[in-house]
Structure 1
Amino acid sequence: RPLQLTLALLKPDAVAHPLVLEAVHDTILSNRFLIVRAKELRCGREESRRFYREHADSPASASREIAFFFPEFNEELWYQQEEPRLRCGQVYYNAEERVHCVVGDEGRELP
């Protein structure tokens, strides 16, 4: 069964408090979610309005939302190349980058 991409956004109130941010991050990890990309980003008021105006719960909208925050991320390529390796391989958590990686990919650039 393939992995499913989910976008998690942490709002400014959570990010402003290091202990809250760490608790949210620990909750994500303890619930066995894999973090495949992470980015700290500040959105202006207009970007936020545009994002929430287009927000809906569907696979198509999820793809648009991921592309909104990660324009360099190629979802199709991820499902072809990374997803099978994450699902079937030995995965480790890279605490410095705050993402999960496949064992043996050390030093390899993420597409």
Structure 2
Amino acid sequence: MLLTARRLSKVLQLTLAVIKPDAVAHPVMLEALHQRILDNNFFIVKCKDLVWRRQDSERFYAEHSGVIWRGSWEKRLGTPALEDGRFFYQRLVEFMSSGPMRAYLLAREDAIRHWRELMGPTKVFRARYTAPESIRGQFGLTDTRNTTHGSDSIESARREIDFFFPDFCMEEWMDKEEPLFRSRQIHYDDQKQIHTLSTQS
């Protein structure tokens, strides 16, 4: 009982999770990923399917438009130490606007860390060898088509949640609904595929 009380005393954290077009294109995979979220004790606060226009992708990934990077192959081939990241950015933008995706607003203690651990490393090759049970280790195809996205910090979670769920007020949810979610005064709605307050049944 003491352990339960201590566990419930921790405030839940919100994070954004996105199932990318490569996974949404396969209904069985999408269903498996949804179940994986539930099995890992995340509360699904919001969930929606959407399709981005190219402009949406460009806005979301704007911070990557001028990234300077160099991949492992370039290192091995001895090409210049810094390579313009615009090619990576363009490929990412095109892919993320290539078909439907699903966005989740998830809640859990340390949700950001737990979701990123569940996803596994960004690079699929590394995920398969270092985290084979992770989502990317099991389902990822390439470093772009790597099945999922997740916020990497509290700041990015706030920004990304606002981008995907502009009508959601994080402060209001934390103040009014977080205590009820934390004390599990909720149920899972199979039809809506989200957790709702028991009073909203």
Between the aligned partners of 1:27 and 1:85, the Cα distance in structure 2 is 23
Residues 58-67 or 76-85, more deviating:
58-67
Alignment correspondent of 2:191: 96
Q: Which runs of 5+ in 2 are unaligned?
A: 1-9, 65-150
Could you tell me how far apart the structure 1 residues matched to 2:63 and 2:168 are?
19
Q: 1:57-72 alignment to 2 at 5 Å?
A: 57-72=152-167
Percent of paired sites with the same residue: 51
Aligned with 1:22 (options 9, 19, 31): 31
TM-score normalised to structure 1 length: 0.87
Partner Cα distance (2:192, 2:58) in 1:
29
Instruction: Structure 1: give runs of 5+ residues left out of the alignment.
Output: 107-111
When the two chains are superposed, the root-mean-square deviation of aligned CA atoms in Å is: 1.5
Structure 2 counterpart of 1:86, from 169, 178, 181: 181
Q: Which one-letter code corresponds to 2:27 in the other structure?
A: P
Distance in 2 between residues matched to 1:54 and 1:81, nearest whole Å: 33
TM norm structure 2:
0.50
3-state DSSP of counterpart to 1:66: helix
Matches within 5 A, 1:26-65: 26-54=35-63, 57-65=152-160
1:71-111 Cα deviation digits (max 9, x unpaired): 000000000011111111332110111110122222xxxxx
More strand by share: 2
Aligned residues between the structures:
106
